[in-house]
Amino acid sequence: MNKKLTLLIDLIKEELGLYVSISFGVFLFILFFQPFPIERFDFNNRLLFVAGFAAIVFLFMIVVRVAIPWLFREYELSTQESVIPSYLCGFLILALDSVAFPFYLYYVGWVSISFYIMLKVVIICLVPPVVLRVYDLVHELKRKNGLLIIEKKLIQKQIEQYKEDFLNKSIDFVSENSTEKLSFLIADVVLIKSADNYVEIVFREGNGFQKKLLRSPLKTIEQQVKPYSNFFRCHRICIVNMHYVEKLHRSYTNHWLTLKGFPEQIPVSRQYLLKLKEIL
């Protein structure tokens, strides 16, 4: 039984501030705008009488949104699903308030109940369900947003892990006549540049960069790196590893890339520019 009572206290604490705020708002509205004839009360009694409306609103919010779910829920707050749908809670609160207010007005305030009074009662009683519904929608959106943020972080982590695994794979460059082969880690290859009948492979070694020549046209090498998506041909004489691209620059009609730690500017042709911008 102690666990059951603890659960009730926890449920009340969850949204107590919200219920108090709504009830206080109803109190202030009725006190200052006086939608009901309460002139017969002196100031102190008027405060007590108006406080009764706030108490009714607070009581039924607690009953519908806390007490009823408490009776049907398990001993632990292990589920985010509500026992009663939000819109049904709002309807029950509206119905109970709309019945309680006229009785309170008639038997405590000695106010004659007319159609006009009932209309104002219903309008006032609509406020708590509407506020609660908006609160529930915002709360649900925040919860979903939190889940999406967590999911995004997990996906980003998976992508980073995939990139790390991918970059640590080896890639082989084979000469045109297949008599020579150079092997590098994908992460180490920075740039492949045409040099007449050869290609110049720029690769990272320690904290610096080294170059090796391989007898092969750039077009042949382009076919060899085609399965690896991070290699991009940006010019008729250059293929870059996008892992090293730092920034795309422009000067009038010329475009070039700067690579991380690499001192040379890498030219970019117009025919590759649009696709490069999409990748970046």
Domains annotated on the chain, with CATH: 2-138 (no CATH), 170-279 (2.40.50.1020)
Token look-up 């009785």 returns 103
Distance (Å, whole) CA 97 – CA 248: 65
Amino acid at 237: I
Q: How far apart are CA 219 and CA 60, in angstroms?
A: 77
The continuous run of DSSP H or E covering 215 comes out as strand 208-215
Two tokens, residue 105: 């007005």
Helix (H) or strand (E) holding 254: strand 254-259
Q: What pTM does this model have?
A: 0.62
Q: Per-residue confidence of the chain (280 residues) as pLDDT tens digits?
A: 577 777 778 778 888 999 999 999 999 999 999 999 887 888 888 899 999 999 999 999 999 998 888 877 654 444 445 567 888 899 999 999 999 999 999 999 999 999 999 999 999 999 999 999 999 999 999 999 999 999 998 888 877 777 776 778 888 999 888 888 999 988 899 999 998 889 999 999 888 999 999 999 999 999 999 888 889 999 999 999 998 999 999 888 889 999 999 999 999 999 999 988 888 7
Neighbours of 49 (CB within 10 A): 19
Q: How far is CA 190 from CA 6, 24, 35, 47, 244, in A?
A: 63, 67, 77, 78, 6
d(Cα 208, Cα 203) in Å, to the nearest integer? 9
Distance CA 28, CA 22 (A): 10
